[in-house]
């Protein structure tokens, strides 16, 4: 069973906002949520540490996630799980709360936070020798840069272990325009990107609107990727990558990770209403988006996995044959049936991500 590098998981957000104990076996985690009615995802989780180990998810890019944005308005009530009702100082504090989750999991031996190339090499060797007892590897990224209160604060976050940033999430951040809106980078966004390049950090283009993404790619000369981004040519919508931006990313030696969210795999999906069974969304559809990247590139050097399987949805919104993150292993058989070689699948499962992730890790 091949190792998988999953380039996008919101582990600490799930713990801090959903009060999930990711150390539990998946069945126990979901059983503990039965009867809860605050969120439609309750009891439908697909990610826990034991399931990651079972699926040979030896390394993942894990996020800090909290939004504020220039259009912030105080809400009439407060929900701890809301990302939209967070002041900028609240976004900073929320991200540090999630960072504390990762630090505690590391102290407890569940994770190893990968901060340097040496860390990565040691982790991969240990994982190869005994993955049953080796902690899960994790590289820290930030989804939406609002927790960084000013660009000058970036050094603090880098010293804390942050190695990559996506400047926006949904809507306008203080740095860029994200999903569902449009616009350029802000002046602070331009400064942030320049500072990221100086520090050798990675730029995650995921969620940037087309205009902000084009500008970011024009400006940023460092390592870039799209952690969890599917094809707009296959499933329309501004959340998806159009072919011209895929080609620009490929030209920059980027990797584009396929996401497992069913509304990104089936045109016309209505969140909360459409079901995997009625649409017949299956894991094989992930291969369609992988193949789109490979066809545009002319090779298999730029496609990977960025499942986003814990990104605010559960198995009510995954392919019908994907109930656990461990089921990502089924992609290998699908790709083999489509003519991909073992070497191709190795690249897609882990080698491509190792190439770009290594470049943002200090010596």
d(CA 334, CA 286): 9
Name the token pair of 349: 């499962």
The structural domains of the chain, ordered by start, are 5-358 (3.20.20.140)
Q: What are the tens digits of pLDDT across the range 204-255?
A: 999 999 999 999 999 999 999 999 999 999 999 999 999 999 999 999 999 9
Euclidean distance between the first and the last CA atom of the chain, given in angstroms as a whole number: 30
Please name every residue paired with 111 in a beta bridge, in sequence order, or none if there are none: 136
Look at residue 72 in the predicted model and tell me its pLDDT: 52
Q: How confident is the model at residue 89 (pLDDT cuts 50, 70, 90)?
A: confident
Residue 155 pLDDT > 50: yes
Nearest alpha-carbon partner for 249 in 304, 314, 302: 302
| 296-307 pLDDT, tens digit each | 999 999 999 999
- Dmax over CA atoms of the chain, in Å, equals 55
Confidence of residue 77 (pLDDT cuts 50, 70, 90): low
SS3 217: helix
Give the C-alpha distances (Å, rounded to integers) separating 212 from 166, 190, 314. 11, 10, 30
* pLDDT confidence of residue 84: 44
pLDDT in tens, 256-272: 999 999 999 999 999 98
Token pair for 90: 């609240």
Q: What is the mean pLDDT of residues 90-99?
A: 93
């Amino acid at each position: 069973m091949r190792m998988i590098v999953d380039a996008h998981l919101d582990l600490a957000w799930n713990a801090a906002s959903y009060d999930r104990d990711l150390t539990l076996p998946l069945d126990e985690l979901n059983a503990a949520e039965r009867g809860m009615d605050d969120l439609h995802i309750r009891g439908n989780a697909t990610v826990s540490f034991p399931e990651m180990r079972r699926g040979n998810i030896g390394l993942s890019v894990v996020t800090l996630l909290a939004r504020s944005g220039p259009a912030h308005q105080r809400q009439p009530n407060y929900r701890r799980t809301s990302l939209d009702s967070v002041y900028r100082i609240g976004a900073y504090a929320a991200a540090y709360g999630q960072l504390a989750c990762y630090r505690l999991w590391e102290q407890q031996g569940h994770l190893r936070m990968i901060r340097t190339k040496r860390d990565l090499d040691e982790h991969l060797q240990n994982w190869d020798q005994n993955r049953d007892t080796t902690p899960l590897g994790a590289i820290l990224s930030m989804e939406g840069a609002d927790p960084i209160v000013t660009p000058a604060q970036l050094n603090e976050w880098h010293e804390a272990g942050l190695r990559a940033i996506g400047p926006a999430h949904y809507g306008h951040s203080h740095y860029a325009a994200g999903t569902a809106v449009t616009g350029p980078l802000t002046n602070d966004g331009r400064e942030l990107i320049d500072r990221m390049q100086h520090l050798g950090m990675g730029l995650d283009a995921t969620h940037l609107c087309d205009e902000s993404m084009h500008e970011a790619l024009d400006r940023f000369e460092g390592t870039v990727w799209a952690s969890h981004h599917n094809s707009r040519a296959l499933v329309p919508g501004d959340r998806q990558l159009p072919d011209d931006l895929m080609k620009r990313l490929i030209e920059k030696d980027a990797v584009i990770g396929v996401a497992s969210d069913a509304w990104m795999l089936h045109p016309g999906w209505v969140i909360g209403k459409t079901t995997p069974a009625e649409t017949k969304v299956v894991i094989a559809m992930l291969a369609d988006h992988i193949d789109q990247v490979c066809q545009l590139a002319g090779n298999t050097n730029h496609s990977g996995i960025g499942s986003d399987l814990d990104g605010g949805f559960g198995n009510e919104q995954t392919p019908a044959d994907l109930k656990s993150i461990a089921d990502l292993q089924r992609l290998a058989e699908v790709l083999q049936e489509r003519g991909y070689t073992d070497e191709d699948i190795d690249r897609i499962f882990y080698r491509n991500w190792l190439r770009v992730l290594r470049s943002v890790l200090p010596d």
